[in-house]
């Protein structure tokens, strides 16, 4: 849907000062953002965080303007992305030339032929990971849903990222380290204006997790320095790109892209899969219809295969509704390159949303 920003009367964003929000942001950031949005009537609000004064955009049409309608004007840059730079570095999660280069190199990995191969590997990994739930299911033993969903997702993502080039011991080191990174960075991400010299909860855990990831990934890169081998996995594509004459790419570039894709794919998917279970428990009619469709298409005792997906429309509908109700991303910092207007509020170049 196009947003006609010129048709909206000019207005001033309601301001929320630091002393009114800091304690609640530290305690429960999502709830505080919801409260601020409600207090602003869903309109664009201004968070006065001292050194930084970003706009808070929550109305669906306004969000679409920032993330889609004017996506070229609102980029991933500025204060709120700085805490993530130590994790993602300069790669596919960057902007400008770094993003263009990573996209160009990775595009062949996502060709139709490659996606078919990756989908088959993913299906096998998922079936194997889900199969480990058979024993507690038959015994009627409860499980911790989020760790189990994380295990399934990580087992699958590792296959896509590394193929058969990673050792099990390496995967066993990195999976808990990545989980630690995903949870410990939250405070720095939400309060990027706090200097690094001032410790925040999670700093120590983040440093430990990052050290494990760096040590393991750099050892892996060094092992395949002179021969990347064959495969459709992301790691092979990155190694081959670095080995190209005059590529200007180094080990750190491979590390940056692997970490960025791992972090953005595992945490979001794990959270989504975790939410689906209490929702299905509340709606047994949906759970029954879902099970009926899977059994009819896949067959009892059979593994799910990529070719089944187009025959599972109700599964797709349930997943889409899940993501509508519980979106995997709830904060997307952006910075405006040029002056514009959101909901009648003037946004100058360099302002953050």
What is the pLDDT tens value at each position of the chain, 353 positions in all? Answer: 344 444 567 889 899 988 888 788 778 888 888 899 999 999 999 988 777 788 999 999 999 999 899 988 998 877 777 777 777 877 777 777 777 788 887 777 777 777 787 888 888 888 988 889 999 988 999 999 998 999 999 888 888 889 889 898 999 999 899 888 888 887 787 777 777 888 888 889 999 999 999 999 999 999 998 888 888 788 988 888 888 877 778 898 889 888 888 888 888 889 889 999 999 999 999 999 999 999 999 987 788 888 999 999 999 999 999 988 888 777 888 889 999 999 999 999 887 77
Question: Is residue 251 in a domain?
Answer: yes
Note whether 61 and 126 are same-domain residues.
no
Q: Is 50 helix (H, G, I), strand (E, B) or coil?
A: coil
Q: Rounded to an integer, what distance in angstroms lies between the CA atom of residue 235 and that of residue 227?
A: 12
Neighbours of 152 (CB within 10 A): 20
Length of the chain: 353
When divided into structural domains, the chain yields a total of: 2
Q: Do 47 and 145 belong together in one domain?
A: no
Give yes or no: residues 116 and 18 share one domain.
Answer: no
* Same-domain status, 165 and 23: no
User: What is the model's pLDDT at position 3?
Assistant: 43
Strand ranges (E), 13-163: 14-17, 45-48, 55-56, 74-75
Which CATH number is 191's domain given? Answer: 1.10.630.10
What pLDDT score was predicted for residue 296?
93
Determine, yes or no, domain membership for 158.
Answer: yes
| In contact, 256 and 88? CB cutoff 8 Å | yes
- Residue 320 domain-assigned (yes or no): no
Domain range for residue 61?
5-78+333-347
* pLDDT for position 7: 58
Residue 4: predicted pLDDT: 46
Q: How far apart are CA 338 and CA 74, in angstroms?
A: 8
Claim to verify: residue 200 and residue 163 sit in the same structural domain: yes
pTM: 0.76
**Residue 342: its pLDDT value, please?**
93
Q: How high is the pLDDT of residue 265?
A: 84
Q: Give the pLDDT confidence score for residue 352 in this predicted structure.
A: 77
**Which pLDDT does position 5 carry in this prediction?**
46
- 162 exposed, middle or buried (CB, 10 Å; 0-12, 13-18, 19+)? buried
Residues 237 and 341 placed together within one structural domain of the fold: no
- For residue 19, the model assigns a pLDDT of 81
Residue where a domain terminates, one of 262, 282, 315: 262
Q: Do 181 and 256 lie in a common domain?
A: yes
């Amino acid at each position: 849907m196009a947003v006609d920003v010129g048709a909206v009367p000019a207005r001033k964003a309601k301001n929320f000062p630091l002393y009114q929000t800091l304690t609640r942001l530290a305690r429960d950031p999502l709830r505080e953002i919801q409260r601020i949005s409600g207090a602003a009537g869903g309109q664009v609000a201004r968070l006065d965080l001292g050194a930084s004064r970003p706009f808070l955009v929550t109305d669906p049409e306004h969000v679409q303007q920032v993330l889609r309608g004017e996506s070229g004007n609102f980029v991933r840059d500025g204060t709120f992305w700085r805490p993530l730079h130590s994790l993602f570095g300069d790669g596919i999660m960057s902007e400008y030339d770094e993003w263009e280069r990573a996209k160009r190199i990775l595009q062949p990995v996502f060709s139709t032929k490659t996606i078919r191969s990756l989908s088959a590997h993913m299906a096998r990994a998922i079936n194997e990971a889900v199969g480990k739930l058979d024993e507690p299911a038959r015994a009627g033993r409860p499980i911790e849903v989020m760790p189990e969903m994380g295990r399934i997702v990580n087992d699958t993502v590792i296959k896509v990222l590394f193929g058969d080039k990673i050792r099990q011991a390496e995967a066993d080191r990195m999976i808990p380290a990545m989980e630690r990174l995903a949870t410990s960075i939250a405070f720095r991400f939400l309060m990027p204006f706090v200097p690094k010299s001032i410790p925040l909860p999670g700093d120590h855990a983040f440093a430990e997790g990052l050290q494990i990831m760096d040590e393991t990934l750099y050892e892996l890169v060094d092992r395949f320095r002179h021969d990347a081998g064959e495969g459709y996995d992301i790691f092979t594509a990155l190694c081959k790109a670095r080995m190209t004459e005059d590529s200007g790419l180094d080990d750190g570039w491979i590390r940056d892209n692997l970490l960025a894709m791992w972090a953005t794919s595992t945490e979001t998917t794990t959270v989504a899969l975790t939410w689906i279970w209490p929702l299905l428990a509340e709606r047994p009619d949906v759970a029954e219809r879902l099970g009926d469709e899977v059994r009819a298409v896949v067959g009892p005792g059979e593994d799910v295969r990529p070719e089944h997906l187009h025959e599972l429309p109700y599964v797709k509908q349930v997943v889409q509704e899940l993501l509508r109700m519980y979106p995997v991303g709830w904060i997307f910092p952006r910075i405006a390159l040029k002056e514009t207007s959101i909901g009648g509020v003037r946004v100058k170049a360099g302002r953050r949303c």
